């Protein structure tokens, strides 16, 4: 019998992308909610409890409410929101981070899907801390640029508006108060003592993102060379299908010395670039905010939670 899947928030940006990725799969049956009952707690409770897997593609408050509607012991919840990412009892859905993370996703009934920026940041910061090269109190700074679909339906509509302000054509930095909702998750999952300084920006393209962390090697334990850092990342992610460590300096991959942000749109891939020199290193992660940053990761986590090949149905 096909697995029963419910997407709470099926009309939103992330919900629709998950639906797209699952639509052609014969091993799954999608439990659709009537349009007029999309926000009816009783109907949602019924479908959540009838499912094997429920994806929550909702704002945080609605995701917390939805998780409480799951009353049977069977259903596995995969929450795309920020609500449960550092909550006790929830597995963090980044299987490439460690064998322990993959095992927790396979065993848990509550899986928090990582944030898009957080995925990029953790992919480069966590191995540096785990390998003992970046001291936990390293003063970490992170820069990032995202496509506007990261802001969901409202931001997509604002960018598509023919009467939008001219400034939308420029890169717009935000998170200026240093209290972006991903910062706690970035700190905790990377094993850092302090919240990193985070400078996100949104720009005039639909999806994709680059998340960068500049480092002084002189502040790292053992002062590793840029080549040694690259080798460490190659070993850390060896054998992973969706996380790829690119050639040192992006040799043969980056055209004209530019690192684009939209190259991985439509995929579940995350590519890591190690650039710079033996004094100043730039670690950068490129991904699709709607792919490995949201719907792709959610489907990968579902595959693991169901005991399937994690690449099923994913590019």
Ligand X SMILES: NC(=O)C1=CN([C@@H]2O[C@H](COP(=O)(O)OP(=O)(O)OC[C@H]3O[C@@H](n4cnc5c(N)ncnc54)[C@H](OP(=O)(O)O)[C@@H]3O)[C@@H](O)[C@H]2O)C=CC1
Calpha distance 37→33 (Å, rounded): 7
> Which residue in the set 38, 110, 184, 241 belongs to the binding site for ligand X (CB under 6 A)?
38
The pair of structure tokens assigned to 205 is 């393209």
> Which residue in the set 2, 11, 74, 277 belongs to the binding site for ligand X (CB under 6 A)?
11
Indicate the residue among 16 and 232 with the shorter CB distance to ligand X2W.
16
Indicate the residue among 150 and 296 with the shorter CB distance to ligand X2W.
150
Q: Candidates 52-60, 134-142, 225-233, 251-259 — which segment interacts with ligand X by CB under 6 A?
A: 52-60
Asked whether position 58 contacts ligand X by CB under 6 A, the answer is yes
Q: Contact at 8 Å (CB) between 208 and 199?
A: no
Kindly list the residues in this chain that would bind ligand X2W in the complex (CB under 6 A): 81-82, 115-117, 146, 150-151, 155, 181-182, 200, 202, 293
Residues facing residue 202 across a β-bridge: 146, 172
What is the total count of residues that contact ligand X (CB under 6 A)?
A: 27
Asked whether position 116 contacts ligand X by CB under 6 A, the answer is yes
Residue that is written with structure tokens 């797209």 in the block:
20
200 contact, one of ligand X, ligand X2W, none, CB 5-8 Å limit per kind: ligand X2W
**Dihedral pair phi/psi, residue 189, rounded to 5°:** -75, -20
Asked whether position 123 contacts ligand X by CB under 6 A, the answer is no
Q: Strand locations in the chain, DSSP E?
A: 3-8, 28-31, 53-56, 76-79, 91-92, 110-112, 141-147, 172-173, 197-203, 209-216, 243-245, 270-276, 280-287
Indicate the residue among 147 and 250 with the shorter CB distance to ligand X2W.
147
Minimum distance from CB of 96 to ligand X2W (Å)?
A: 17
Instruction: Walk across the sheet containing 172-173 and list its strands.
Output: 172-173, 197-203, 141-147, 209-216, 280-287, 270-276, 243-245
Assess whether 116 carries a catalytic annotation. yes
Indicate the residue among 224 and 291 with the shorter CB distance to ligand X2W.
291
Distances (CA, A) of 163 to 132, 160, 166, 168: 51, 9, 9, 11
Minimum distance from CB of 144 to ligand X2W (Å)?
A: 9
**Dihedral pair phi/psi, residue 92, rounded to 5°:** -90, 120
Q: Give every CB contact of residue 264 below 8 A, 6+ residues apart in sequence.
A: 208, 270, 271, 286, 287, 288, 291, 292
Indicate the residue among 120 and 250 with the shorter CB distance to ligand X2W.
120
Minimum distance from CB of 136 to ligand X (Å)?
A: 26
Q: Which of 57, 116, 142, 275 is catalytic?
A: 116
Dump the DSSP string for 137-149. T---EEEEEEEGG
Minimum distance from CB of 285 to ligand X2W (Å)?
A: 14
Indicate the residue among 81 and 268 with the shorter CB distance to ligand X2W.
81
R_g of the chain, CA atoms, integer Å: 19
187 contact, one of ligand X2W, ligand X, none, CB 5-8 Å limit per kind: none
Please give the positions annotated as active site.
Answer: 116
Q: Which residues bind ligand X (CB under 6 A)?
A: 8-9, 11-15, 38-39, 57-60, 62, 80-82, 115-116, 149-150, 152-153, 289-290, 293-294
């Amino acid at each position: 019998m096909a697995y029963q899947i419910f997407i709470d928030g099926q009309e939103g940006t992330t919900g629709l992308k998950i639906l797209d990725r699952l639509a052609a799969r014969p091993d799954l049956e999608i439990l659709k909610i009537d349009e007029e009952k999309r926000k009816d707690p009783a109907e949602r409770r019924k479908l959540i409890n009838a499912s094997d897997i429920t994806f929550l593609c909702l704002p945080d408050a609605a995701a917390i409410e939805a998780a409480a509607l799951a009353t049977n012991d069977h259903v596995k919840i995969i929450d795309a929101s920020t609500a449960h990412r550092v909550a006790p009892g929830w597995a963090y859905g980044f299987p490439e981070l460690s064998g322990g993370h993959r095992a927790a996703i396979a065993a848990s009934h509550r899986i928090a899907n990582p944030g898009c920026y957080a995925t990029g940041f953790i992919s480069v910061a966590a191995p540096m801390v785990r390998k003992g090269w970046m001291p936990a109190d390293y003063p970490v700074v992170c820069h990032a640029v995202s496509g506007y679909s990261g802001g969901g339906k409202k931001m997509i509509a604002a960018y598509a508006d023919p009467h939008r302000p001219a400034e939308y054509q420029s890169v717009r930095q935000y998170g200026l108060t240093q209290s972006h909702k991903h910062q706690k998750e970035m700190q905790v999952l990377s094993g850092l003592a302090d919240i990193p300084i985070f400078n996100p920006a949104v720009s005039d393209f639909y999806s994709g993102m680059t998340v960068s962390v500049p480092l002084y090697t002189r502040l790292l334990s053992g002062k590793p060379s840029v080549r040694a850092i690259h080798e460490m990342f190659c070993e850390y992610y060896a054998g992973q299908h969706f996380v790829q460590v690119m050639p040192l300096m992006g040799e043969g991959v980056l055209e004209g010395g530019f690192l684009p942000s939209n190259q991985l749109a439509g995929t579940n891939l995350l590519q890591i670039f190690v650039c710079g020199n033996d004094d100043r290193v730039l670690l950068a992660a490129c991904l699709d905010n709607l792919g490995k940053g949201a719907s792709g990761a959610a489907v990968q986590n579902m595959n693991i939670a169901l005991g399937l090949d994690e690449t099923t149905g994913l590019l």
